Homo-oligomer: A and B are copies of this chain.
């Protein structure tokens, strides 16, 4: 029961070799992350319109296992990986039509007060939503 999103790799995302231009993977991962957050009722637009806290990315990394090519379709599978006191991590797996893992993005978001930029505990509701999400992943994978 992971959140999944389909993308097509357009010309805007490939380099001269017709293969993914690597920074573009993070862009796609962020688009899917936004959609995922909206799907669990943690809409980033609403958060930004009525700020109190923000969730900037403090660490991001990606592994590129197989070449992703122009015009190909990928399924992006989102997992909640870690839930800390003030931060949480999300993984985006990019899967090919054959189910193989082409690449993975891992990002860590930290919760900061809008006013002073200091880290703060994740809001109770957000933590609850992420925790439910993580538990469901576990049940399904088992």
Interface status of A85 (Cβ within 8 A of chain B): no
A123 to B137, CA, bound (A): 45
Residues of B within 8 A of A82 (CB): none
Give the interface residue-count category, chain A: 35 or more
A110 CB, nearest partner CB in chain B, Å: 9
Interface status of A12 (Cβ within 8 A of chain B): yes
Q: Which residue of B lies closest to A13 (CB)?
A: B31
Contacting pair A35 B58 (CB below 8 A)? no
Q: Which residue of B lies closest to A18 (CB)?
A: B16
A24 to B72, CA, bound (A): 22
Residues of B within 8 A of A64 (CB): 56-60
A59 to B17, CA, bound (A): 18
Task: Assess A57 versus B22: contact at CB under 8 Å? Given A70-B45, A71-B38.
Answer: yes
Q: Which residue of B lies closest to A72 (CB)?
A: B45
Task: Assess A23 versus B15: contact at CB under 8 Å? Given A57-B64, A71-B45.
Answer: no
Residues of B within 8 A of A17 (CB): 16, 48, 54
